[in-house]
Structure formats: structure tokens, C-alpha cells
Structure 1
């Protein structure tokens, strides 16, 4: 078996249709989670606004001012979360973003509870505290999903391409200068083997470990920029007639991801 055949597994290892089906299912679940999280965030902020509006109305604010006053509290949560998202994409820590988020969250929770007034039923305070807490958690989850999406797009754009096979240059024959003199008959000589080039001497054959690593690295591309599972790796190694135990596959994946750390952040492929 040639080295070119072992460099990358064929793209139809598990069939193109199952891979695309898994990718479509994962995309559908991600979109559904984002839609539900957005709806939960909107409902939580609306309930919090409603409670703060009633509190403002009870303390001499009327009409548009009573509705604008809750924004001075809950908007800090949105600003702080957006700044935290920006800092995480830049791989930094923004203390001001954390302070804004904490101030808006604590203030919203305290004021929502204060809007209940004096009550003997503890559940009245629990009901008042749920909307601001849910708004904080839901908005944080939404920002996490946005962060993962932007990070995955950035990793795909910056991922280095892997050559599918070692390029082979054709053997060039030396040009024979044309002369006007009659050819001189020379005695027949036995055919000698072609000289070995220096670069061919330096190129060592791939070891079994290198061939295993190349097969595992090729799975990231054939699975559509997804992280292969143990089942994918063992099947690919078995088809390449290489050692295909679970331990061998996992160790090869560790070596590949150590050489290219961005591969660890790719979404995991679902086993067929």
C-alpha cells in the first residue's frame, strides 16, 4: 500500500449522507436552543421590567418615566454581558464588565423583591426574585452560545490546510545538445539504474505512528470540521489496515491536537 493511499482516508468512510444528516441535526438543535434562550431572556426581562415599573409607579413616577426607570437597572446586565463576551473573544478579563453585570443583577433582584413590600408569604419574595435571576442566567447562556459560534467561525478561517499527499516531482531528463557532427558509434552498454537524487535519500518512509496520525488528522476535514469520536477513528484506522484499538486512536488524537490546538475547540461529531 502506497504512502499516498495512507495519507488521508477516503471521504466516504461513513458515507456522505450520514455525516450531512448529523451536521443538519446539530445545526437544528443549536438554532432551537438559541431561539428558546432568546425567548426566555425576553420574557424574563419583561417580567422584571413590569415589577420595577410598579415600584416606580408607587414612588411618584408616572407614564413614560415609570417605564423608562427599569431600564436604568436592567440595562446594566445587557451592557456588562456584551462587554464580557467581547473580552472573552479577545482572551482578556474586563473588570468593568463584571462590575456592571453584578451591579445590574444585584440591583434588579433587590428592587424586584422590594416591590412586594411587607408579606408573610415567603413565596411572594421568591416569585419576585425569579424574573431578574432568570434574565441574568438566560442572557448569560445566550452570550455563551454567541461566543461559541464566533469562536468556531474564527477557528475554521484560521485552520491550516493539510496536503492530501506528498508531492512527487517527475524525473527530469538532461537535455542533450544538438551537434552537426555525425554520431559516433559506441559499444553497447548495459542499462544502469537511474541515479538516486539527494532529496530522495533524505526523504525517509513514514513510520506507522506517522501514518496513524495522518489518518486521524484527515478525519477533521472529512467530517466537516468536527472533532472525530473513538468510533470514527477506529473505523478509519481499520480501513487503512493500521492498529485500530481505542487507546491507539485516542493517543493519536492527542498528538494531532497537541500539534494543532485549535482542533480541540471544534464541535464533536456524533457517532453513526
Structure 2
């Protein structure tokens, strides 16, 4: 019996697809434009003058969108996902509060010269900068997409039962000597292939039973002929990839600090 194939859902009409594809960027642009005046006025209330006050819409609306995208694209349990989710929620709350405060002040329902309003607004740009740098320094795990191959339904198998011929009984044979199992060969672990070749210069530092510091890893990279790199690259890229292949290395105690290379 043939296996019934799943039916495809009906395709949406062209105008519905057009509204979905073209409507989303149009709505995004319209909401950003509508949010800019309120966030600009809040910055002016806090004491910023032109043209610096125009940076507040990017610090609130754009930051909220960036944090929301990072929170949605990182897999569950990945480093930085909780921080991105909390930052997205906080940024959206700030953007909403800026609109409410600006309209309340402009309509006369709220006094603009309030200390708490000025203090909270003044903390927005450095807080946004600090969180974006934190998200940028957190390595994004590489997720390999899964592929599936549809196999056709197998043809029905018809079993045929054939009667085996009757053979005469065999004479008694002496018991065979027990055979010893072949010796088990120890399997050598496959060598690790790093995506970043600089990891090979840093990996021997773990052989002493301690987790190397940033200065020791930088000295090993320079001794191996690599160019000088920043601390975030050493910790967030090179050391993160080494401990991704060997998670037990992350539990090593920290090594004693070494002298930094000038």
C-alpha cells in the first residue's frame, strides 16, 4: 500500500505576500520616525542641546531593536541570551517611557524640571553603550543547521516460506578449544582542528593544570609569530574556542599572572 504524501498548504495571494514583505519595513520606518520627536524632547528636558539631543532616538529605539534581534537569534542556553533579553525589555520600557513623558510634558500634565527625570535620562547613553559592548564581547555560538532527506516509501515485501531439506544428524565432534577475544586496541582521540589557527599557540599553556591569563596568552601568540590582538579577542574568541572543544579546561584554576609584553 502506498504511503499518502502530505498535502502542501494553500499559498497566500500576491497582495497578502506583498503586504507582509513590504509592510514590515514600512511600519518599522514609520514607528522610528514617530518615536524620534518624543525621545528628542526628553533629551532636551534633561539638558542636552542641539545637535547632541538628536542622538537620543538612536540610544533608545535603535538600541531596543538591536537587543531584541540579538535575543531572538541566539539559541536557548547560549551565553549572552539572557542579558540580551533583559536589555531588550529594558530598552523597550525606556522607549515607551520616553514617549509617555514627552507627551505628558508637552500637554502640560507633567513638570519637565524634575530631578529624577533628568537623572534617569542622563544615564541612558552610557548604559546603552556598556550593554552593547557586553553583547559584542560575548561570543556567538556557531549553530550547524540540520538537514533532512526524505526517503521514499519502501515497496511492500512479500515473504516466501521455503521448507528446508532434512539432513542426517552430524557425528559427535570433540569440543572446540575456547577462543580468546582479540586484544582491545586503545583508540587514540582524533586531533582537534581549530577554526582559528591561533588557538594552537595558546593550547599548550593549559598543560600545566591551570587556566592561563590574558597576558600569558598574548605572550604565547607573539612568540608564535602572530600579530598583537586585543584582550576581548584573546578571551572571547581564542580561549572560548579552545574551551568549546575541551569543556574541562574551563574548570582549571587560574594561573598566576605574568608580565605583560610591551
- For normalisation by structure 1, the TM-score amounts to 0.37
Higher RCO, Cα 8 Å, sep 6+:
1
Q: Where is the helix percentage greater, Structure 1 or Structure 2?
A: 1
